Amino acid sequence: MYRPGGYAIITGPAGVVEMDTFTCGHHGGVVHVPAGLAATVALEAVSSVCFMCRQRICHACEKERQLTARCVTAEQRIEAMERVVEGDRNRQALFKAAGIT
Amino acid sequence: MAKYAVLAQRTASSTLSVGAVTGAASTPRRCKIYRLEFGSEASPADNAFLWQVQRCTTAGTAGSSVTPVALDPADPAATTVAGQAHSVDPTVTANLMLLTIPLNQRATYQWQPAPGGELVLPATASNGAAIRTPTSSAVAVTVTCYIDEQ
């Protein structure tokens, strides 16, 4: 794979299997690229490139992007998680200050 | 940015979680998982495992807490919290699977991302990643997780 995002090694009784990985630009998870195939074939089997953020994404995220026509990057998802909890904390502090529990 | 090693072990407990890495309750910081190693230290046998790293929103009830070990002894203690051998699984978020790999019990798995490809955990209390084996819980397994606290 051209410019892999990582590397995975499985060591077992049958030997060692090595494969490239990449981190999906949308959901932020690891995707394994099957070893032993031509680089371009293997990549197309497991990934696409989001035309909005230009990051490599997995098929599940590509389907979601096609359905919703939205590009939500992994960084945006993380920031959203942090905002939700921060909002909850502020709301709880407000309720506590107002004497509502 | 300080780097830590977290060694979590599950010795045939009844839950599916091997370990969890979550943000601290009071001052959570972002952390990045930059290396993972899975394996079983039990007597060799042909059991099938599906290993999963999944986002979680609670830390669950850990059988014991794990202190992340600073790779540089000069670094301060980690704020990120880790646990192992859960009696109550962390609450995992559906469809937010960060890594999934099926393995035989005899196999060991290592993953190392290129810079920028790390698994990012939010700076949110009790949010983080649960490392699980949802297909088998009765075999002793160990995971070593290296984290980079931001």
Residue in A with minimal Cα distance to B29: A82
- The answer to whether residues B117 and A23 touch, using CB atoms and an 8 Å cutoff, is yes
Mutate to test the interface with A, among B53, B124, B131, B145 (most CBs of A within 10 A): B124
Whole-prediction pTM value? 0.88
Cα separation of A60 and A48, whole Å? 10
Residue in B with minimal Cα distance to A87: B124
Using the predicted structure, report yes or no on whether residue A89 has a pLDDT greater than 80: no
Structure tokens at B139: 């075999």
Mutate to test the interface with B, among A85, A88, A92 (most CBs of B within 10 A): A85
Average pLDDT, whole number, for chain B?
90
Q: Model confidence over B26-63: pLDDT tens digits?
A: 888 999 999 999 999 988 888 888 999 999 999 989 88
Q: Is A35 on the interface with B (CB under 8 A)?
A: no
Burial (0-12, 13-18, 19+ Cβ within 10 Å), A11: middle
Task: With CB atoms and an 8 Å threshold, state whether A30 touches B110.
Answer: no
Q: Is A18 on the interface with B (CB under 8 A)?
A: no
Average pLDDT, whole number, for chain A?
85
Average pLDDT, integer, range B97-106: 92
Using the predicted structure, report yes or no on whether residue A37 has a pLDDT greater than 90: no
